[in-house]
A and B are shown apart, each in its own frame.
Chain A
Amino acid sequence: MYAQGLIGADAATTEDAAFLERFQARIDAEEKIEPNDPMPAGYRKTLIRQIGQHAHSEIVGMLPEGNWITRAPSLRRKAALLAKVQDEGGHGLYLYAAAETLGVTRDQMTEELLSGKAKYSSIFNYPTPTWADIGAIGWLVDGAAIMNQIPLCRCSYGPYARAMIRVCKEESFHQRQGYEIMMTLARGAPAQKDMAQDALNRWWWPSLVMFGPPDSDSVHGDQSMAWKIKRFTNDELRRKFINATVPQAEFIDLTVPDPDLRWNDDTQSYEHGPIDWDEFWRVVKGHGQMNRDRIAARRKAWEDGAWVRDAAVAHGEKRRTRHTAALAAE
């Protein structure tokens, strides 16, 4: 996972018109921008922010799913969940590396996450009280992430686009695996089916808001589209997701919790009921059920691990010193 519609990027830039025009011409020609190429400050800033948010989402996203590794109901599920959570950590690693090509360090980005300055996908501020949440996250959250990320494989910034190609393959595997968990539950005993329906009820709306605010209030969308950091609007991606997911729910006989959901024959698309954007902004601003717990868990891991990281650095320095001394003695 889990790129979300970017929250609050500032694309302000100060270069002269000729520079911006030359840059735009490269973008329009579908050339990839590489780390050492000249680029507008706003382009760099937008990308650092977006890739950073994306990386943090992968890392924070390990927590709600990690919550079920020790309680997974079978050894097969336990192994698959361990592998999935590990994949998400790997995504975080490639993404931090992609952001580092723009001149920030992983430690700086981590500090920004822990201080609350950097955001991560609001979806992870919901809890995972039941096993079915693991199915629902794979199916819906990884599913939404794929919708967001497939276009990012063609993002104008080379390192981000390349990271996304690797990530997308794994995300689609996660999505299928999550759906398979839901299917098994939906076709299981009544208690299992109830668990699956309850999880769909809780994750449906938060998954829809993963695509970000509606196009009518999206402030920064246009510049990101022009720079080909973004290729589709939030509403376009949300529509694609709903169109792909509703038939999947029907196939396993689960009910999408939206009484206003209707198929529109003219647009060949579903229309959904009103989304609670107040709830979205509340969660983004830190008032979701799990916001404090997520950051507290990340902070605890970071602070408790400081002595380990310090030891690794100290040992590396001692080794270099000893090696140099040994060479000098020869």
Chain B
Amino acid sequence: MTDQPAFLELLLRLGDDCLVLGHRLSEWCGHAPMLEEDLSMPNMALDLIGQARSIYTRAGEVEGKGRSEDDLAYLRADREYRNLLLVERPNGDFAHTMLRQFYYAAFMEPYWREAVASSDAALAGIAGKAVKEIGYHVRHAGEWVIRLGDGTEESARRMAVAVDALHPYTGELFAVDGVTDAMAAAGVAPDPSALRPEWDATIDTIFADAGLRRPEVAYPQLGGRQGCHGEEFGFLLAELQYMQRAYPAMTW
């Protein structure tokens, strides 16, 4: 790899997105609105945690300092996590959770589809598995966006509130910088800004059936990629890292 620091940074971004969103989804386990969702949300969380593990393992190899998937997942400081602000947003109600999942998955489906052709064989392999999994997330969460948007007055109101609350975080999906540019140029990973038209079209199709409107966002919320997280994120990490911090250097 010619640009090792950029590749490591890219892998941490991707891995952290999966880990943090998987964590958020898993918070629902046992508390879902219906039993079927108590199966579907852990299912999606499992896909994401599985993806995070493979990505961190690759990141550890690329870094070459012997850090394991768990070292990377559990033993970094708040500012070292590189996930999108979108995926760390608290669950809110079921409308927020499904919309967050839909926004993320509608971006990652084309992302993984293109990454299947990555010049890094390990990332290409991860993408090949992930693209199948994320396709289910798009369909499942998309169907819920439609059901809730179209369902009752109450559900339509909640869905509209979720769109207002979460849409400002979607701009970060497409943000570019030196890392994304270098990785796109090296054929390692797609240029995220190039995925925007497909994402917009996916959102518009589902929103048309849901009776929702994609809002214009004057000021997108950015910062996750630089490790500037929201206030709730520290509590997420406190929970995630608790055992590793309380009982250092043990095998579980």
Contacts and interface: CB of A to CB of B under 8 A. Distances in A.
Given A71-B242, A315-B151, A300 B252 contact: no
B43 interface: yes
A75 B46 contact: no
B52 interface: yes
Given A82-B49, A301-B33, A311-B151, A75 B23 contact: no
Contacts of A93: 35-36, 39
A96 B37 CA distance: 15
Contacts of B77: none
Contacts of B252: 73-74, 77, 131, 181, 184, 188
Which of A71, A78, A310 neighbours the largest number of chain B CB atoms within 10 Å of its CB?
A78
Interface of B: 19, 23, 26-27, 29-39, 42-43, 45-46, 49-50, 52-53, 56, 69-70, 73-74, 93-94, 146-148, 150-152, 154-155, 158, 239-240, 242-244, 247, 250-252
Contacts of B148: 308, 311, 315
A82 B42 contact: yes
Contacts of A70: 23, 26-27, 239-240
Contact of A310 (B46, B69, B152, B242): B152
Contact of A300 (B31, B50, B70, B73): B31
B42 A188 contact: no
The prevalent SS among residues of A at the interface is: helix
A89 B151 contact: no
B49 A78 contact: yes
Interface string A48-78: 0000000000010011001001111111111
Nearest to B25: A82
A286 B36 CA distance: 28
Given A297-B31, A315-B147, A74 B70 contact: yes
Nearest to B236: A70
Contacts of A301: 30-33
Contact of B243 (A73, A300, A305, A312): A73
Interface of A: 59, 62-63, 66, 69-79, 82-83, 85-86, 89-90, 92-93, 96, 106, 131, 181, 184, 188-189, 191-192, 297, 300-301, 304-315, 318
A71 B239 contact: yes
Given A79-B46, A192-B250, A307 B70 contact: no
B152 to A, nearest CB: 5
B230 to A, nearest CB: 17
A71 B243 contact: yes
A86 B43 contact: yes
21 contacts: A62-B30, A75-B73, A78-B26, A82-B45, A86-B38, A188-B252, A297-B30, A300-B31, A301-B33, A304-B31, A305-B32, A305-B33, A306-B33, A307-B155, A307-B158, A308-B34, A310-B154, A311-B148, A311-B152, A315-B146, A318-B150
A89 B46 CA distance: 15
A89 B38 contact: yes
Nearest to A306: B33
A72 B30 contact: no
Nearest to A70: B239
B20 to A, nearest CB: 11
A297 B33 CA distance: 12
A82 B158 contact: no
B29 A66 contact: yes
A297 B32 CA distance: 11
A79 B29 contact: no
Which of B35, B52, B247 neighbours the largest number of chain A CB atoms within 10 Å of its CB?
B35
